[in-house]
Structures are given as C-alpha cells and as structure tokens.
C-alpha cells in the first residue's frame, strides 16, 4: 500500500500528560468534529467552533448530559491542516492529577469522541503527511530517551534529515527500477550498448550509500538505541560480581568468597558517557561436574559470543610478575583484578581494584574506546531504530543481488524489492501491520 494522504475523520480523545498529581493535565482531541465536541462541554458563548485557529481562552467545562460542572480549563483551538495531526483539534488544559483529567476525558467521550489508541495522534500525523516514519520513530525515541545522547540523536532525526536522505535513496531505487522495467520492452540490440554497464554502475553506487548508513548504525546507532552489551567473564572468584558492583556503584550481584556463586547471568544497566551499557555478570568459567553450573557456563559462552564487548577477568595476584598474559579472543579486553592485593600494576594490561576503585576510570575509558566512542565525540549514526537498520541492510542485499544478475526480469525484481525496503523506512510504502508495530509502542495521547 502506498502512503496516499488519508483523511481520518473520527474524533479521538486522550489525556496527553502523564498521570499523577501535577499542575495541569492536557486532554487532546483530534479529528473533524473535535470542536463540536468541545461545544457541548462549555456554555454557548464559549463554543470553540466559533473561535478562530490559535485562540487560547478560559472557560468552565461541564458534562454534556448531566451538566455537572467538572473543572475550568484553558481551551486551545486548532483548525486543519494546522495542527500536530493535520486535523481539526482541540486541547483542554485542566487541573492536573488523575481524576480531573479523567472526568474531562469521560465528558469528551460522552459528547462523541472515541478513546485514542496508543500513538494514534502521531499515526494520523503520518497518514496526513505531516511527518514520515523516521520522524514518527524519532518522536517515540525522544520521549523515551534515557540519556542525553539518545535525546540529541532522536531530536535531530525528528527534524527530518534522515527521512530526506532515505527518501532520496528510495527515489533513486524507484527510478532505476523503472528504467530497467522500461528496458524490458525493448528487443536485444535496441538499447544503447552502454546501458547494462551504466545501470549496474548506478546500482552499485546506490548500494554503497545504503551500506554507509548501515555501517554507521553498526558502529554507533544500536549502542545508542539498545545499549552496548558488555559481558564480564572469567574463572570463579576472580572478582566478576565485585567489578559489576563497583561499576554500578551499588550492590546488585551477590559477592561471595565461595567459588561458583553467580550461577545465572545478572544483567544491569548503567550509563557511561551517555551510552547505555548493559553489563552482564556471568557464571564463572571452569570445568565442573555440577549440572546447573555447567548449564550456566554454556550460557556464559553464548553470552560472550553475542556480546558487543567481553571483559575477560584474571586475578592479578594469581599471575607471576613477568608471566605472559593470556591471549584474548576478538572483542575482548583483558582486565586484571584485585590490584590492591598485588605488589603493583602491570604496565601491559588494564589493572583494577573493585575494592579501592583504582583503575575503574581507565577501564571505563577503555570500554568507550572499544565501543568506537571517545569521551567527546557525538554519535555519528543517524539511524535510531533496529527496524531502520534491518530495512537498510535488506535493501543493500537486494541491490547487491541485482548487480550480480544477468537476467533483466530478475534484476528488476531485486530493484523493486530494494526500493520497497527503503520506502518502508520512511513510510512511502507501508502496511497496516507495519504501522501497528510502530505506533503500538507509543503512549496514549501521543
Ligand atoms: P566472582 O566469583 O568472579 O564473581 O568473584 P567475587 O566478586 O564474588 O569475588 C570473589 C572474592 O574476591 C570475594 O571475597 C571478593 O571480596 C574478593 N574480591 C573481588 N574483587 C576484589 C578486589 O578488587 N580487591 C580485593 N581485595 N578483593 C576482591
């Protein structure tokens, strides 16, 4: 289905502010008839339908049937298409708190509004062409941002730069696909000799642009969005739980002098220089006959394989001063623990003490460096959602497949598939399921 601006008429209503005691609560109405609903809640001389767009005024709100006086409120009038949703809309600012707002919402429903679904206002904004899907996703990411960096990236995506860029790629893919389809109508020899080489050159150039975006996501985007998974592993008693606690600055994992206490993995989140980190403390790695512990070790190995970064811990006191350091697998930092018990740090490895805190800042810096970040650099990725990254990846694969094909019919199919992936990112191509999966994560009232 293509995103042709749809007219969504039915007025919907929701409380747009968070529940609980607060200065004000905002009840939002959108859709044709919203102002007429407002008319039923006020005295005749205060009817919002008689006010011009942008008016902000005070009136007492009544229940439409019982005429019970509910609250007094400020009313803000919007007329289509100049509103968030692009529709006629009304905002009622009443006293804060759960009940005043709920009573006003119930009155709006009694006057003919339907309760809005999560994200329905933003979905209508999308359907009315007010924003593309990358902007809609950015709104959700901005509202739920937990770190300064997530907020900055989401806010800049909200301005639409990514959408514009992807739209450009989408149009190139559509253009190429149309060109190839058009060429199918010609007989062999009727096309310019240079046509195949030129088309493949263009497809390859497009694939490169798409790849560059995917790469920036791999490097930074998913770290900002989902957080980096940093897995702490090592032999029992090397100080894994102690390091997790020291990094978190509070006691979460059980620290015990008996080996093999942390049988199941413990995951905790914290923020390192604006990057959310998911720190995973694992079962100790050692040969064991205990079945539960063995399961834990298998799970550890799996966690290590999936980690963005592994911290491999070795007890510094168990190493002879000049002993060679163990080799570490890729994506792994070797961390020597219990520095306070050792005669001194080793120059050739990161040494930390969870007890005194020595070396923990350096460890933090090393983690950031490893994750492709420096203390000052902003996130280079413009992509904030895994959905966008997956569609880009798929588009790149279709483009590459197209390049390898000799059959023009198959090649055209691949190009069309690539264009659809790009189109879905911005919503030039969408299905009901796609919209549901995006907007169901929104809060009600947004
Ligand atoms: P895990 O089995 O690897 O999770 O190890 P724990 O964190 O449970 O620690 C095992 C023992 O080593 C406990 O008695 C801790 O108090 C001790 N320990 C851990 N880190 C340090 C450290 O940096 N300095 C000192 N002195 N003891 C530590």
Which pLDDT score, from 0 to 100, does residue 253 have?
53
**235 neighbors 335 (Cβ within 8 angstroms):** no
**81 neighbors 92 (Cβ within 8 angstroms):** no
Which pLDDT score, from 0 to 100, does residue 201 have?
95
Which pLDDT score, from 0 to 100, does residue 380 have?
46
Task: Say which residue, 343 or 93, is predicted with more confidence.
Answer: 93
237 Cα to the center of ligand 1, angstroms: 6
Which pLDDT score, from 0 to 100, does residue 284 have?
65
402 Cα to the center of ligand 1, angstroms: 56
Q: State what percent of residues in the chain have pLDDT above 70.
A: 87
What letter would DSSP give residue 307?
A: -
Signed CA dihedral, 398, 404, 407, 412: sign only: positive
Pocket test for ligand 1, best of 231, 255, 317, 343 (most atoms within 8 A of CB): 255
**Which candidate, 210, 106, 234, places its Cα nearest to that of 423?**
210
Residue 424: is its pLDDT beyond 80? yes
**CA end-to-end span of the chain, whole Å?**
24
Residue 213 to residue 326: CA distance in whole angstroms: 37
Give 256-272 as a DSSP string. Answer: -SSTT---S-EEEEEEE
- How far is C-alpha 272 from the chain's CA centre? 18
251 Cα to the center of ligand 1, angstroms: 13
pLDDT digits (tens, 9 = 90+) for 16-39: 998 888 899 999 999 999 999 999
Which pLDDT score, from 0 to 100, does residue 88 have?
97
**416 neighbors 399 (Cβ within 8 angstroms):** no
Please name the residue ranges forming H helices in 85-194.
98-110, 120-127, 133-143, 148-158, 161-183
Task: Say which residue, 264 or 122, is predicted with more confidence.
Answer: 122
Q: What is the pTM of this model?
A: 0.68
- Closest ligand 1 atom number to CA of residue 238: 3
Check pocket membership of 353 for ligand 1, CB cut-off 6 A. yes
Which pLDDT score, from 0 to 100, does residue 373 have?
56
Residue 185: is its pLDDT beyond 80? yes
Q: For ligand 1, atom 17, name the residue with the nearest CA.
A: 239
**Which candidate, 254, 359, 379, places its Cα nearest to that of 316?**
359
Task: Say which residue, 260 or 97, is predicted with more confidence.
Answer: 97
């Amino acid at each position: 289905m293509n995103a042709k601006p749809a007219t969504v008429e039915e007025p919907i209503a929701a409380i747009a502010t968070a529940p609980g005691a607060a200065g004000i609560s905002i009840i939002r109405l959108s859709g044709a008839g919203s102002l007429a609903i407002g008319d039923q809640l006020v005295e005749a001389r205060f009817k919002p339908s008689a006010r011009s767009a942008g008016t902000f005024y005070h009136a007492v709100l009544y229940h439409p049937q019982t005429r019970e006086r509910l609250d007094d409120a400020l009313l803000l009038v919007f007329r289509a298409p100049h509103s968030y949703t692009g529709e006629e809309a009304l905002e009622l600012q009443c006293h804060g708190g759960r009940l005043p707002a709920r009573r006003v919402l119930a009155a709006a429903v009694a006057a003919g509004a339907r309760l809005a679904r999560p994200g329905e206002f933003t979905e209508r904004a999308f359907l009315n062409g007010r924003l593309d899907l990358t902007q809609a996703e950015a709104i959700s990411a901005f509202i739920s941002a937990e770190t300064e960096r997530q907020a900055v990236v989401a806010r800049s995506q909200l301005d639409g730069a990514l959408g514009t860029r992807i739209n450009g790629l989408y149009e190139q893919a559509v253009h190429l696909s149309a060109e190839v389809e058009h060429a199918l109508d010609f007989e062999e020899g009727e096309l310019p000799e240079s046509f195949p080489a030129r088309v493949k050159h263009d497809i390859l150039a497009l694939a490169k642009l798409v790849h560059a975006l995917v790469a920036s996501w791999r490097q930074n985007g998913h770290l900002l969005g989902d957080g980096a998974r940093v897995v702490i592993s090592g032999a029992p008693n090397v100080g894994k739980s102690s390091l997790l606690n020291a990094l978190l600055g509070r006691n979460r994992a059980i620290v015990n002098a008996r080996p093999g206490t942390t049988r199941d993995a413990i995951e905790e989140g914290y923020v390192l220089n604006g990057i959310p980190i998911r720190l995973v403390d694992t079962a100790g790695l050692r040969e064991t006959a205990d079945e539960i512990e063995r399961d834990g070790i298998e799970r550890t190995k799996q966690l290590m394989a999936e980690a963005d970064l592994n911290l491999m811990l070795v007890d510094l006191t168990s190493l002879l001063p000049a002993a060679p350091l163990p080799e570490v697998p890729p994506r792994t930092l070797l961390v020597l623990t219990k520095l306070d018990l050792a005669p001194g740090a080793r120059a050739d490895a990161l040494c930390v003490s969870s007890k005194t805190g020595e070396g923990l800042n350096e460890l933090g810096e090393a983690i950031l460096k490893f994750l492709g970040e420096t203390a000052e650099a902003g996130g280079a990725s413009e992509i904030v959602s895994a959905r966008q990254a997956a569609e880009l990846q798929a588009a790149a694969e279709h483009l590459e497949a197209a390049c390898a094909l000799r059959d023009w019919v198959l090649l055209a199919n691949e190009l069309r598939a690539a264009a659809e992936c790009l189109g879905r990112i911005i919503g030039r191509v969408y299905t009901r399921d796609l919209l549901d999966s995006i907007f169901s994560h929104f809060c009600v009232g947004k």
